Chains A and B, each alone.
Chain A
Amino acid sequence: MLDNLLKIKFKNTSRGRITDKISKIVFMSATILSASFIFVIAGIIFIRGVVPFTTDNLGVGRVSLFHFLTGDVWLIGETFASNLYSIGFIILSTLFITLLSLAISFPVGVLTALFIAKIAPKPIAKILRIVIETLASIPSIVFGLFGAGVILKLVYDFSSSIGYQSKGGNSILSVVIVLALMTIPTITTISEVAIRSVDPAIEQGSLALGASKTQTNFKVVLSSAKSGIFTAAILGIGRSLGEATAVSLVAGGRRSGLSFDLLDTTSTLTTIMLEGLKETTGIDYDIRFSVGLVLMVVILLTNLMLNAIKRRVGVVHVKE
């Protein structure tokens, strides 16, 4: 027929089957490679992180794991020739800071989301959504710069006004504010999605019972969206725990002593990894992997705990 008429030569189709097999293998390898990096990361951080506890660190001596996890002095003096590293106080201050910043960003983020989704007039909601998107895309180093240039000054002035001599504003309070500002967009975006996907029938049910629009929003809509809002909080906590450069510019680099004083300097697991990074070697370098390992464990445990709580939060009415 046509192929004879036009003398079209069809190629041997077995080649197609072979290329199909090859391309499947290539694409699959890309996937397995991508997926395997989580093991690579966990593996290498673990292998490097345990070195200070298992070797004598080129003569400095083995670091005691117990002391590392419970002590309250990062390193005595300026010498790196010591095995007396500990981060017990830093773990606690990291958790304290994360909790405080969530205490600000969570209500602000959720209320902003509610405002955008249900309360604001359309043009305002539209502008606000752009504002949130822009904030979300501003890199953390810019937040850090803003913190160092503005928040530090505000906190310093505030502390001076109450007769407190803060170290240039470097403090728990500054870190908390910077982290809160950074996590608000994350929490807002995810909460808004959750609020929008609440089944309108539930809202109408509430309105039909004589509840006002506001009552419905606060009582019915928020509680129906609680699963999604909880997810937002989990992601916000994750971002706070892992944030490094921005925090390092406003924390003040505390090296010893646990302090929950809002105007006192502090360190977090991430800032201590960056502390004095530019001029260091040996154990002082290796120990950062140990801190990284602790950070990963802290994030993992926090996530497991929060997800367990989330499952307990109960029924959710989310439209698919």
Chain B
Amino acid sequence: MTLTNEKAFHINQLNLYYGNKLALDNIDIDIYQKQVTALIGPSGCGKSTFLRTLNRMNDLISNCHVNGKILYNENDIYSSDSDVIDLRRRIGMVFQKPNPFPMSIYDNVAYGLRCQGVKDKAVLQKAVKKALVDAALYEEVKDRLKESALSLSGGQQQRLCIARAIAMSPDVILMDEPTSALDPIATAKIEDLINDLKKDYTIIIVTHNMQQALRVSDYTAFFLLGEIVEYGLTSELFSHPKNPKTEDYITGRFG
């Protein structure tokens, strides 16, 4: 396994509040490019909240305040001159529940590009095909691109959502428990896909499933009560956890 040390994100003393409640406490973490980083921890530990700070989806929550620094490619994404729309174009996101738009399969994948003003049909077609191929969905849907995305199975819908994200050619893909609503077979397909995608993309995945973290990730961060308890190479964190709390969690003693 080759590990590069190029950082995608450098996060420094990040605090996040919902109203007066501290939800993320002094997070310091570097996330590396073209690696899969898994965020694990019990429910309510702040891992999803943390994920959503990276593309500023928490902006949608009205009483949510952030301080500290998140440097993405050396730029502070929470600075006043940062462009949220551009940021989200570069950082794709896949959600817990597959959430394709109630449109055709083709329109779902083309949506983001169209929003960016891409109108050329040939370009769109190429991009949609490439995204579907990369998301390992093309063979299954190539004959019914005009059909509603809602006619797909749950696993297919989730891969469509991944295709939709990679059609924007992002640098980073955030995945928020992408397999929690899927059956084991669909889950396996997504995990394979993640392994394929990491050569091109930086992937950060929130998961409840320790086995999944072990299978797909290079780095793992263990969150507890809004803090990062332990962060390191997945292989090391799972085999030799430094913190007893980490050990308790990964061995299933709580959570």
Contact = CB atoms under 8 A, between A and B. Distances in A.
Answer yes or no: are A and B bound together in one complex.
yes
A11 B86 CA distance: 10
Interface in A6-62: 6-11, 13-14, 16-17
Nearest to A1: B169
A9 B167 CA distance: 13
B127 A6 contact: yes
B123 A6 contact: yes
Interface stretch (B11-19, B67-75, B111-119): B111-119
Contact of A10 (B89, B130, B131): B89
A2 interface: yes
B83 A14 contact: yes
Contacts of B166: 2
Contacts of B118: 8-10
A6 B200 contact: no
Given A8-B169, A16-B85, A1 B127 contact: no
A3 interface: yes
B83 A13 contact: yes
B130 A2 contact: yes
Given A1-B169, A3-B169, A8-B169, A13 B89 contact: yes
A6 B118 CA distance: 11
A8 B127 contact: yes
B116 A10 contact: yes
Contacts of B171: 1
A13 B127 contact: no
Which of A5, A10, A14 has the most B CB atoms < 10 Å from its CB? A10
Contacts of B86: 13
A9 B86 CA distance: 13
B242 interface: no
B146 interface: no
B116 A11 contact: yes
A1 B118 CA distance: 17
Contact of A2 (B83, B85, B127): B127
Given A1-B200, A13-B86, A16-B85, A6 B126 contact: yes
Interface string B161-201: 00000110101000000000000000000000000000010
A10 B116 CA distance: 6
A96 B218 CA distance: 81
Contacts, number: 37
A1 B86 CA distance: 16
Nearest to A14: B83
Contacts of A7: 123
A5 B200 CA distance: 13
B116 A2 contact: no
Contacts of A14: 83
Contact of A13 (B85, B113, B126, B131): B85
B130 A6 contact: yes
B123 A8 contact: yes
Nearest to A10: B116
A11 B83 CA distance: 13
B117 A2 contact: no
A157 to B, nearest CB: 60
Interface in A254-281: none
Contacts of A3: 169
Nearest to A20: B85
Contacts of B200: 1
Nearest to B116: A10
A5 B116 CA distance: 17
B12 to A, nearest CB: 26
A104 B7 CA distance: 77
Contacts of B116: 8, 10-11
A13 B83 CA distance: 8
Nearest to B117: A11
Nearest to A3: B169
B134 to A, nearest CB: 9
Contacts of B83: 13-14, 17
Contacts of A13: 83, 85-86, 89
Nearest to A2: B169
Which of A1, A2, A5, A16 has the most B CB atoms < 10 Å from its CB? A2
Interface in B120-162: 123, 126-127, 130-131
Contacts of A11: 116-117
Given A1-B169, A2-B169, A13-B89, A8 B130 contact: no
A195 B126 CA distance: 59
A13 to B, nearest CB: 4
Contacts of A8: 113, 116, 118, 123, 127, 169
Given A2-B130, A2-B131, 17 more contacts: A1-B200, A2-B166, A2-B169, A3-B169, A5-B130, A6-B123, A6-B127, A10-B116, A10-B117, A10-B118, A11-B116, A11-B117, A13-B83, A13-B86, A14-B83, A17-B83, A17-B85
List 6 A-B pairs, minimum CB-CB distance, nearest first.
Answer: A2-B169, A11-B117, A13-B85, A13-B86, A3-B169, A10-B116
Interface of B: 83, 85-86, 89, 113, 116-118, 123, 126-127, 130-131, 166-167, 169, 171, 200
Interface of A: 1-3, 5-11, 13-14, 16-17
12 contacts: A2-B127, A2-B166, A2-B167, A6-B123, A6-B127, A8-B113, A8-B116, A8-B118, A8-B123, A8-B169, A11-B117, A13-B85
